[in-house]
């Protein structure tokens, strides 16, 4: 079955980015000249998905507004003959069909995804977290969708992390079955040091079977008093086969201040207009340090 829908949870408080995120959704902080969330949406579009479901909360209307058509701005840009800007603004508003759902209580990622059940329906779907940017010529989502065509089961994107950092992530244990693909045996949410030998950390890309909604609805609060997606994923992996995929590309945690700065540098060095001048500037800064 073709995957047509992607769920993007953007309801978080953004506490790691305070005070910048006090009045501005962290997903709207810019990487060079685009908000972080636009890179996520463009990845979805480039991967051939037809509809996006934002899981939002109070104070997140700027995200929806960014992808809406702004008649006043369009008129002003047209009058000032700023045709390229005008075209770009229209392109953003026409990227993809978007639906928004409110997460009424901050009960965690698992609960946020569960709120999309009536819109997703009984079909497999993709989940992308708004904090995770993956830089690669072939979008991470597209890599996973192609793998789904082969295996037809839930897939979790993973990356290898240093063993002393595994306590910061959801961790997958599994058997390698080919190349970058693993069959999932066990998952843990932020395991205590020394409780796992695996270095496969879950990052914010998932392809999920609709069975996950029933499991999320029956999942009790776990780590941090929230409904953890990892707990429901583990239950799903016991019900049917699940795979982990070590994606190709570089992942940036744009919800973390240092990760955000790294992302700015990486994306700026690939910018079609600014890259050369920015590279020269970085070289000069390095010489002066």
Q: Per-residue pLDDT tens, the chain, 289 aa: give them.
A: 789 999 999 998 888 888 888 889 999 999 999 999 999 999 999 999 999 999 999 889 999 999 998 888 888 988 888 888 888 888 888 888 999 999 988 889 999 999 999 999 999 999 999 889 999 999 999 999 999 999 999 999 999 999 888 988 889 999 999 989 999 999 888 888 888 989 999 999 999 999 999 999 998 886 667 888 988 999 999 999 999 999 999 999 998 999 999 999 999 999 999 999 999 999 999 998 7
Q: How many CA atoms within 13 Å lie on the side-chain side of 198? A: 23
Q: How many CA atoms lie within 13 A of 136 on its CB side?
A: 17
**Number of domains observed in the structure of the chain:** 1
CATH number of the domain encompassing residue 106: 3.90.550.10
CA dihedral of residues 262, 155, 206, 154 (deg, nearest 10):
180
What's the token pair of residue 60?
């997140």
How does DSSP classify residue 191?
P
Task: State which residues form the domain around 46.
Answer: 5-288
Give yes or no for a contact between 245 and 147, defined as CB atoms under 8 angstroms apart: yes
pTM for this structure? 0.93
* Residue 244 near residue 160 (C-beta atoms within 8 A): no
């Amino acid at each position: 079955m073709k995957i047509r829908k992607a769920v993007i949870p953007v309801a978080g408080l953004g506490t790691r980015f305070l005070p910048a995120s006090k009045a501005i959704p962290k997903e709207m902080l810019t990487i060079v000249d685009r908000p972080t969330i636009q890179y996520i949406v463009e990845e979805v579009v480039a991967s051939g998905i037809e509809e996006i479901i934002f899981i939002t909360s109070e104070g997140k209307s700027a995200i929806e507004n960014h992808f809406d058509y702004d008649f006043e701005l369009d008129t002003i840009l047209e009058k000032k003959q700023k045709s390229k800007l005008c075209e770009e603004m229209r392109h953003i508003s026409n990227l993809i069909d978007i639906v928004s759902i409110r997460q009424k209580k901050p009960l965690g990622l698992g609960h946020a995804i569960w709120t999309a059940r009536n819109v997703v329906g009984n079909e497999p779907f993709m989940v992308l977290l708004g904090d995770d940017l993956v830089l690669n010529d072939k979008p991470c989502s597209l890599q996973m969708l192609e793998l789904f065509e082969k295996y037809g089961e839930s897939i979790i994107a993973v990356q290898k992390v240093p063993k002393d950092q595994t306590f910061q992530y959801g961790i997958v244990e599994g058997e390698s079955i080919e190349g970058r693909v693993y069959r999932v045996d066990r998952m843990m949410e932020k395991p205590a040091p020394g409780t796992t030998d695996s270095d496969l950390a879950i990052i914010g890309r998932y392809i999920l079977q609709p069975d996950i909604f029933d499991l999320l609805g029956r999942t009790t609060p776990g780590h941090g008093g929230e409904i953890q997606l990892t707990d429901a994923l583990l239950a799903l992996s016991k019900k049917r086969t699940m795979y982990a995929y070590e994606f190709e590309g570089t992942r940036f945690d744009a919800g973390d201040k240092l990760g955000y700065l790294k992302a700015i540098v990486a994306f700026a060095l690939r910018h079609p207009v600014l890259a050369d001048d920015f590279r020269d500037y970085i070289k000069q800064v390095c010489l002066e340090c």
